[in-house]
Amino acid sequence: MIATLNTTQILNDWLLATADDQLILAHRDSEWTGHAPILEEDIALANIAQDELGHATLWYNLLMQLKSENEDYPDRLVYQREANQWRNVQLVELPKGDWAFTMLRQYFMDAYEHVLMSHLEKSQHQNIADIAAKIHREELYHYKHSSAWVKRLALGTDESYQRMQAALNQQWPYIGQLFALAPGEASLVEAGIIPDPAILQNDWQKLVLPLLSTGQLDLPEVSNRFSSRAEHSLHLNQLLNDLQKVFRLDPEADW
């Protein structure tokens, strides 16, 4: 199977996966709009959701450009794909949970994007390097925001600590999927287009583990779920049902 994949296809698949992570994360964040614990955070998270949506758009647009697709390609990808055609990691499709769950996931993803972009800025693929530089500066702010929350909830009250620990227990098994190499992607690593996931994971842990330890959070002893990015939980179906509902009512409608 690997032999039939050429580099273009592998790169396209990687771009799709990278964009899908952002889009699904953006949707989960946006579910808090109007429901966040305080007005200021409502604005902050809506803002961040919009940023992540913007990042997804940058990657979808590059994919569109590389595949010489029409302008409606990103919309088709978002509104017309079934769950099994999405390539996001399962971490981002999990329901938004409580505020601790959302902040911890956002923190994990901000740390991931931060280390990923700092490598991609040096990608041999110029378009990717340009997009990464643009995304990276925003991620520095996102990281500051979510790490401040994780720290405060972990060191806050008994209840906030317990909620943070519960969120960690639930999310930790999904982390490995962020650093799994898809079939054929080793060629992209060799070509200097994307970073080696092992290096990425190491960078990520150097950021994340000290903060979790500051918060006295215990890493659960669980084995990672190494599933393919084509596999999803039923949560994604429910999410897409929401996301695509209006579009499916009238696919030809002009907005």
Partner 1 sequence: MDTQWPRFEVFKQDAPNQPYQNVGTVHASDGEMALLNARDVYGRRPNCHSLWVAPERAILKVTAEELGNAQIQQKIAEARMLASSELLQNYYVFQKVSQKRTMTFVNYVGGVQAASPRQALALALDRFSQAEVWVWWICPAEVVAASEPGVEDSWFAPALEKVYRQQSYYGKVTRKRRDERLQIAQQMSQPQAQTKNEVSK
Q: And the tokens for 250?
A: 């009238």
Calculate the alpha carbon distances from 63 to 30, 83, 106, 140 in Å. Answer: 24, 19, 25, 25
Binding test (CB under 8 A) with partner 1, winner from 6, 9, 35, 43:
43
Q: Give min distance, CB of 148 to partner 1, in A.
A: 6
Closer of 23 and 175 to partner 1 (Cβ)? 23
Nearer residue to partner 1 within complex by CB, 69 or 138: 138
Written as six digits, the tokens of 174 are: 């999904």
Residue 41 as a binder of partner 1 (CB under 8 A): the answer is yes
| Token couple for 199 | 């290096």
Beta carbon of residue 145, minimum distance to partner 1 (angstroms, whole number): 5
Nearby residues of 156 by Cβ (< 8 Å), 6 or more positions away: none
Q: Does 130 bind partner 1 (CB under 8 A)?
A: no
Part of the chain binding partner 1 (CB under 8 A), chosen from 27-35, 71-79, 137-145, 170-178: 137-145
The DSSP H or E segment spanning 170 is helix 158-171
Q: How far apart are CA 67 and CA 86, in angstroms?
A: 18
Q: Which two tokens stand for residue 98?
A: 């409580």
Q: Is 138 in the site for partner 1 (CB under 8 A)?
A: yes
Please list every residue from 50 through 69 that binds partner 1, using CB under 8 A.
Answer: 51, 54
Kindly tell me which of 43 and 209 has the beta carbon lying closer to partner 1.
43
Scanning 121-157, the segments in alpha helix (DSSP H) are 126-154
Query: Cβ 225 to partner 1, closest distance in Å?
Result: 33
From 223, 195, 224, 206, select the one nearest 90 (Cα to Cα). Answer: 224
Kindly list the residues in this chain that would bind partner 1 in the complex (CB under 8 A): 38-41, 43-44, 47, 51, 54, 137-138, 140-141, 144-145, 148, 152
